[in-house]
Amino acid sequence: MKINKPPMGWNSWNTFAENIDEQLILDSADALIEKGLLDAGYNYVVIDDCWALRERGKDGKIVPDPKKFPNGMRSLADKLHAKGLKFGMYSCSGLMTCAQYPSSLDREWIDAQSFAEWGVDFLKYDYCYRPANRKGEESYRAMGLALANSGRDILFSACSWGADKTHEWIRTTGADMWRSTGDIFDNWNSIKSLIEQQFDRLPFGGKGCFNDMDMLVIGMHGKGHVGLGGCTETEYKTHFAAWCMLQSPLMIGCDLRSADDFTLSLLKNSVLIGIDQDEKCAQTYRLGGDEAPVLVRALENGDVAIGLFNLADGEKHAWLTLNDIGIGVNSGKTLELTDCWTGEKSIVKNGYVGSRLAPHSSIVYRGKIVDAK
């Protein structure tokens, strides 16, 4: 499968980890729909680790846990498809999954066939318990080839954490997206670290194999499996803004059944989603300092997305000039900016865009090129 936009959806791991079952998945799917998130573009429902029995069946196939999924995975897939959703599952490239369930090392072809028979649309493929003598690229190429020959169109999400120079070989595997970081946690230090890790990996994402910064923790508020501390509303806004500016897949990780109004308004921000999902898929580039980076991306219709970020614990001045992004002082052009949070419009004067930002805050603009007056 070759995808033209970063995938969007929901994944069970951040909040529920091993505490999953069929009813939870269906209830979460219903919440995704009822709260307007499917209409906003979130269409994958992904079961992460811990869905199987601890041992394979006599036929060598992975067996879904009958207590958690009494009707089997094909039935669950059919129910999700009937709701207009896509069904995602999880496996791993090592001897065991990260939670020590059966994994797909040297079983890629039989497992890919099972996933296809079950109606799976998305496979997250992890990197735990990999033998020292097995190169990561070999494992991911094996699963990529098996999925491509499974008889079903299955999105291949490679979750190798950016380890072992993933960026150098990931496109050889047929993966549609690749994890460029370790796991996210629901606190500011984790979010800041994942943003900073992208700065030397910007050339390696894009159309066909998107750079995955891990799942969103927006709306967790310190609860759930990775809810280690929680974030402020300002920090959640910066989290979402950075993922959209950097064109990461948007996979929600909170409990959708109890998502509050702030969480839903942030996750459904159509202007930011439009930037994340822009069809041009141009590479984001960085201006400014390490703790006050400015991120810029050219958009499909000639617009420009500009994100001003303060990653520091104190106030910072983040800024750029229009000349920095290709609009020279003698071009006769300037930008009409739309604030992605407020919708407020303004015209750039004197070729300068900038702001003094509170700690951990951000401003994102969508800029339209207009004649200078």
Residues with active-site annotation: 126, 183
Which helix H or strand E contains 75, and what residues bound it?
helix 72-82
Token pair recorded at residue 213 = 């910064």
Token pair recorded at residue 128 = 């735990």
What would you measure as the largest C-alpha separation in the chain, in angstroms? Answer: 76
Phi, psi of 10 (to 5 degrees): -135, 145
Is residue 106 classed as helix, strand or coil in its secondary structure? coil
Q: 136 exposed, middle or buried (CB, 10 Å; 0-12, 13-18, 19+)?
A: buried
Please identify which residue in the block is written with the tokens 């800041």. 192
Which helix H or strand E contains 297, and what residues bound it?
strand 293-298
Is residue 365 classed as helix, strand or coil in its secondary structure? strand
Adjacent-strand bridge partners of 131:
none
| Nearest-10 Cα torsion for 306, 218, 10, 90 | 100
Please identify which residue in the block is written with the tokens 């702001």. 355
Q: 87 exposed, middle or buried (CB, 10 Å; 0-12, 13-18, 19+)?
A: buried
How far apart CA 98 and CA 112 sit, in angstroms, is: 19
Q: Which amino acid is at 131?
A: P
Question: CA-CA distances (angstroms) from residue 172 to 1, 150, 155, 166?
Answer: 14, 18, 15, 10
